[in-house]
Amino acid sequence: MNRQALIAPCGMNCGICLAYLRSKNRCGGCRNENEHKSVHCDKCVIKNCGFFKTTNSIFCYDCDHFPCARLKQLDKRYQLKYHMSMIENLQMIKQSGQESFVQTESIRWKCMKCGGVLCVHRAYCLKCEEEKKLVQKSAH
């Protein structure tokens, strides 16, 4: 699967989501239609925002209301619970491009023990159960 297609409009890297990484009933990511996508992801207010219906943009950072209240709420929850920021992700994509962001993410979310992909929603590697230790983001 194209790793760039796994970056949601809000800046979430669906490739590190538990729903994508699980082996049973695997979700294909926000931008891909499939029967295993959770209802809340399918009905996501951000993904289904009118902005995306009226423009060719694929990311929230192009919107005049960026960051909107909904994105700020989601970002705050992810910062507190998972130590990841959607808004920082979007700023990085806007500055460095989606390809650079995906490359950085593949390093940042790689298990140092087994090389598997770390899940944003768990404190350990799903493959080897090693405690999650993230590589710090580098300044561009």
Summarize pLDDT for 32-57 with one digit per residue, the tens.
Answer: 777 767 777 778 889 889 999 899 99
The answer on pLDDT for 29 being more than 70 is yes
Q: Is residue 46 part of a domain?
A: yes
Q: Is residue 128 part of a domain?
A: no
The answer on pLDDT for 140 being more than 50 is no
Of 97 and 3, the one with more pLDDT: 97
Q: Is residue 11 part of a domain?
A: yes
Q: What is the pTM of this model?
A: 0.87
Q: Is residue 132 part of a domain?
A: no
The answer on pLDDT for 135 being more than 90 is no
**Residue 13 phi, psi dihedral angles, 5° rounding:** -90, 100
Q: Which domain holds residue 67?
A: 3-108
**Number of structural domains in the chain:** 1
Helix (H, G, I), strand (E, B) or coil at 61: helix
The confidence band for 137, taking pLDDT boundaries of 50, 70 and 90, is low
Q: Is residue 116 part of a domain?
A: no
Q: Is residue 124 part of a domain?
A: no
DSSP letters along 54-115, please?
HSS--SGGGSTTPSPHHHHHHHHHHHHHHS--HHHHHHHHHHH-HHHHHHHHHHHTB-TTT-
Q: Is residue 73 part of a domain?
A: yes
Q: Is residue 134 part of a domain?
A: no
Of 23 and 74, the one with more pLDDT: 74
